[in-house]
Structure 1
Amino acid sequence: MSPIARLGLLVGLLSGVVVVLGTAAPAVAHDATTTAYAEVSGAGPDVRVVLDLEYDLLMKSAWLYAEAYEATDPAEQRRRLEAHADAVAAYTLERFQVAYDGSRCAGELAGVPGLTQRGDRAFAVVSLEYRCPGGQGTHELFSALFPDDENFVHSTRTIVHYELDGAEGAAVLAAADPTHAVSDGDPGSTVAVAEGSTWRNLGGFVVLGGEHLLLGPDHLLFLLALLIGARGRRDVVLTATTFTIAHSVTFLLAAIGLVNAPSGIVEPLIALSIVSVATIHLLRRRADSATTRWRLPVVFAFGLLHGLGFAGALGIDERWSWQLLASLLAFNVGLELAQIALVVLLYPIVTLLRRSVAGDQVLVAAAALVAAVALVWFVERLPFGADLAALVLPVGP
């Protein structure tokens, strides 16, 4: 390889690492996108909706003062939600709409908004009741929560789980396709979507799965650490397969409620998994036999943890149905497609770099940097860890 080509590869890899790390730091910087969650239920025309929305985004989108959206203490956040309940209701009722038989339903806030935790983020819990005109019809659900033109985030998707009109199922609503028509069904059936829209909804879950992996800095760094430590195509295939099997198992079990682990435990351990895999690569260079023997079992164990993290992204809390299984499988397909694309893109670069002395040094430095960043995440995700990390690594002016 010529010196110019080698320099180009080194610059490219370093630029990629900087981009990944620069968009990371989940505890101190907001993700570029967000997911809203809606639980919709009703035995007749009237509908009840429970929305889970990121607290700080909701308060910004309702155009409240900084004292509201910058609050971090849960007790203070609850006080702000109660004090600004009218503004929260006005925003959510305009952005999440329900129609019945072609006519828009009148909505109102049902009680004081609450607070819950999803991963390392506070979510407001907003309960809404919609009074729909009588008659024989079906419901349509519409979401325009946190649109791009608010300039806070982009590409917001709303994951909807519903039991309406004798049907139950799930759908993903996005700016390109913000409306979902619920199908007719016999009481107790598991018909999930209107005729002709099944593939569109499953496609939404495929896209959501791919986005979750590509926009999740911890999952990206974990894959990068795996690729840096892989030696040869066989090693890449074994490592990727091990990780895929592990996270698929726990993802499906957790999403249907058979396995449950608190995010306060899962999230720090996911960060620790990145530290461990990157460190194994550094040790493997000096002690091949010992670290090689344990590498795949470690990848499998940490893959189980990442599966729990993937399941948390869907926020599913409903009983078993074939539609639920289809949605989960579609989401997992999206994860795997994104994972394959990353491996195909990055592995040839890593291979070329490993063949040169300078390139190998860059990979070692990249592994050390990945481990260091993940270690900071681990500390931040521990109880009171964010305050400790802020003392050591202050952020902002």
Structure 2
Amino acid sequence: MSPRIRLGVVAVLVAVTAFLGSAQPASAHGFSSVVYVDVTGGDDGRLRTKLELEYDLFVVSAADAGHDDALFRAGTAAFEAGDAKAQAAALDAHRKAAVGYVRDRFSVTSQGTGCVPAQSGDFTMGRRQGVPYADLLLDWTCPKRGVDHEVRSGLFPDAETYVTGTRTIVTYDVDGRTGSAALDAAHPVFSTHQAWYERFREFFRLGTEHLLTGTDHLLFLLALIAGSRRLREVVLAATSFTLAHSVTLMLAALGLVDVPSAVVEPVIALSIAVVAGWHLWRLWRHGGRATDLEAAGGGHFGLDRAGWTRLGVVFCFGLVHGLGFAGALGIDSAFSWTLLWSLLVFNVGIEAVQLTLIALVFPVLVLLRHRAPAAGLRATGVISAGVFVMGLVWFLQRILAD
């Protein structure tokens, strides 16, 4: 083996080993939260916002910010008892701290001038992904009506140390415009007069960031790359994966599918192990011929029987990963059609990252297989073995955690 090829093998293995060593052991999505906001035109030209906030997180954050130990005790007891009426009553009894927390971190402005919020009605309770959410209605009086409005959200920031990477998903029907937006710490503000491409750009970015920070989805893609024999095979597999998770993400957003994360997360981990194990099994069975196409192959898209079978397996697992994406975004009830278009752009962002990673990694493996076939097989074998072990470990952790 030439020094250049040997260096390539080492570089691939070191990069993969470092990545696996830094992977989080349990959920790829981390301990985060999603806030939901619906903005509509209210009475007398006012704006109305309906905020949905994860209840237990809201209680802890509001109690801490307002130095209200009584809210923490009452809210925690109601949460542990699973009593929705008691949960709402705890927030109502301590509305100064609860509403004050939101007013300090969520705002609406009209051409740069702040709008004044007032709570409408009492707190109510709902559920998302099986988790209690508190609903808060705020009516905003703005000095200038019928003009551009800006919404800013800094709810549940990383600095509080309770969660990381909180996102606020906003839908709006105001100022004669409808749309949706995804806010986070890096992009906390949006305008109701934003252009359609600005809105879609936010969800495209959200999709790219979600895949890049979702360790288990990255490992699934890495297993696909390592086990693919031809470029078209890995591209078709990645695209099949995207189409599949688009289906279930859309079904979840329409409120037609709701599968508990206790089922989804272990299956996602198992899918990683299965796809990586598939290549290990081919290496064990075929040895140096593991990357060969079947003699009778060459059907549609140039895939043989093994390629089509693998594509079907990837598609089925992609359906489950779509439920994982929906869970990470907290989507389990019907949304507006406007947001559905944004979610499609979210999926385009995921696909763009997948194809970029394939373009970066797969040519290196092809070069190794061409110049030094044995070294190329060893490299993909080591990668697949590492991913296989990680997938099994996560599967056991998620099963035992439930």
TM range (shorter): 0.7 to 0.9
Per the alignment, residue 170 of structure 1 pairs with 180
Instruction: Give the drift of 1:152.
Output: 7.0
Go from structure 1 to structure 2 and tell me whether the alpha carbon gap of 1:89 and 1:11 turns closer, same or farther (over 3 Å shift): farther
For the Cα contact (< 8 Å) 2:52–2:135, is it kept in 1? yes
For the Cα contact (< 8 Å) 1:157–1:173, is it kept in 2? yes
Aligned residues: 366
Q: Which moved more, 1:172-181 or 1:284-293?
A: 284-293
Residues 1:137 and 2:143 aligned together:
no
Per the alignment, residue 181 of structure 1 pairs with 191
Residue 155 of structure 2 aligns to a residue in which SS? coil
Go from structure 1 to structure 2 and tell me whether the alpha carbon gap of 1:198 and 1:117 turns closer, same or farther (over 3 Å shift): closer
Letter in 1 for 2:169: I
Where in structure 1 are there 5+ consecutive unaligned residues? 183-193, 388-397
Letter in 2 for 1:137: G
For the Cα contact (< 8 Å) 1:61–1:150, is it kept in 2? no
Go from structure 1 to structure 2 and tell me whether the alpha carbon gap of 1:125 and 1:42 turns closer, same or farther (over 3 Å shift): farther
Over the matched positions of the two proteins, sequence identity in percent amounts to: 39
Per the alignment, residue 127 of structure 1 pairs with 135
Structure (1 or 2) with the greater helix fraction:
2
For the Cα contact (< 8 Å) 1:218–1:270, is it kept in 2? yes
CA distance in 1, matches of 2:211, 2:102: 28
CA distance in 1, matches of 2:97, 2:172: 26
1:219-273 Cα distance to aligned partner (Å, 9 max, x none): 1110011111111223223322322332233333332334443333222211111
1:15-63 Cα distance to aligned partner (Å, 9 max, x none): 33432442322349946x7654334455432524223349569846964
Instruction: Give the drift of 1:353.
Output: 4.5
Go from structure 1 to structure 2 and tell me whether the alpha carbon gap of 1:296 and 1:12 turns closer, same or farther (over 3 Å shift): closer
- 80, 89, 92: which is aligned to 1:75? 80
CA distance in 2, matches of 1:257, 1:350: 42
1:128-149 Cα distance to aligned partner (Å, 9 max, x none): 2323337843554211234466
Go from structure 1 to structure 2 and tell me whether the alpha carbon gap of 1:297 and 1:166 turns closer, same or farther (over 3 Å shift): same
Residues 1:312 and 2:356 aligned together:
no
Residues 1:13 and 2:52 aligned together:
no
- 332, 356, 364: which is aligned to 1:341? 356
Per the alignment, residue 378 of structure 1 pairs with 395
Residues 1:38 and 2:37 aligned together:
yes
Per the alignment, residue 364 of structure 1 pairs with 381
Residue 239 of structure 1 aligns to a residue in which SS? helix
CA distance in 2, matches of 1:28, 1:308: 13
1:150-172 Cα distance to aligned partner (Å, 9 max, x none): 67777653211234456543112
Go from structure 1 to structure 2 and tell me whether the alpha carbon gap of 1:103 and 1:244 turns closer, same or farther (over 3 Å shift): closer
Where in structure 2 are there 5+ consecutive unaligned residues? 295-304
Query: Please, what TM-score do these two structures have when normalized by structure 2?
Result: 0.74
Pairs within 5 Å for 1:53-92: 53=54, 59=60, 63=64, 75=80, 82=90, 87-92=97-102
Residue 132 of structure 1 aligns to a residue in which SS? strand
Residue 50 of structure 1 aligns to a residue in which SS? strand
- 183, 194, 197: which is aligned to 2:195? 197
For the Cα contact (< 8 Å) 1:247–1:307, is it kept in 2? yes
Go from structure 1 to structure 2 and tell me whether the alpha carbon gap of 1:86 and 1:26 turns closer, same or farther (over 3 Å shift): farther
CA distance in 1, matches of 2:17, 2:231: 22
Residues 1:327 and 2:336 aligned together:
no
For the Cα contact (< 8 Å) 1:10–1:359, is it kept in 2? no
- 203, 209, 216: which is aligned to 2:207? 209
Q: Which moved more, 1:290-299 or 1:52-61?
A: 52-61
CA distance in 2, matches of 1:147, 1:233: 42
For the Cα contact (< 8 Å) 2:238–2:351, is it kept in 1? no
Go from structure 1 to structure 2 and tell me whether the alpha carbon gap of 1:30 and 1:267 turns closer, same or farther (over 3 Å shift): closer
CA distance in 2, matches of 1:166, 1:30: 37
Instruction: Give the drift of 1:278.
Output: 1.0
Per the alignment, residue 265 of structure 1 pairs with 263
Instruction: Give the drift of 1:332.
Output: 1.4
CA distance in 2, matches of 1:141, 1:360: 53
For the Cα contact (< 8 Å) 1:10–1:353, is it kept in 2? no
Per the alignment, residue 186 of structure 1 pairs with none
For the Cα contact (< 8 Å) 2:252–2:326, is it kept in 1? yes
Residues 1:234 and 2:232 aligned together:
yes
Question: More relative contact order in 1 or in 2 (CA 8 Å, sep 6+)?
Answer: 2
CA distance in 1, matches of 2:231, 2:223: 16
Per the alignment, residue 48 of structure 2 pairs with 47
Go from structure 1 to structure 2 and tell me whether the alpha carbon gap of 1:43 and 1:107 turns closer, same or farther (over 3 Å shift): closer
Go from structure 1 to structure 2 and tell me whether the alpha carbon gap of 1:296 and 1:28 turns closer, same or farther (over 3 Å shift): closer
For the Cα contact (< 8 Å) 2:277–2:385, is it kept in 1? yes
Residues 1:298 and 2:313 aligned together:
yes
For the Cα contact (< 8 Å) 2:13–2:382, is it kept in 1? no
Go from structure 1 to structure 2 and tell me whether the alpha carbon gap of 1:42 and 1:377 turns closer, same or farther (over 3 Å shift): farther
Go from structure 1 to structure 2 and tell me whether the alpha carbon gap of 1:266 and 1:20 turns closer, same or farther (over 3 Å shift): same
For the Cα contact (< 8 Å) 1:142–1:180, is it kept in 2? yes
CA distance in 2, matches of 1:298, 1:178: 39
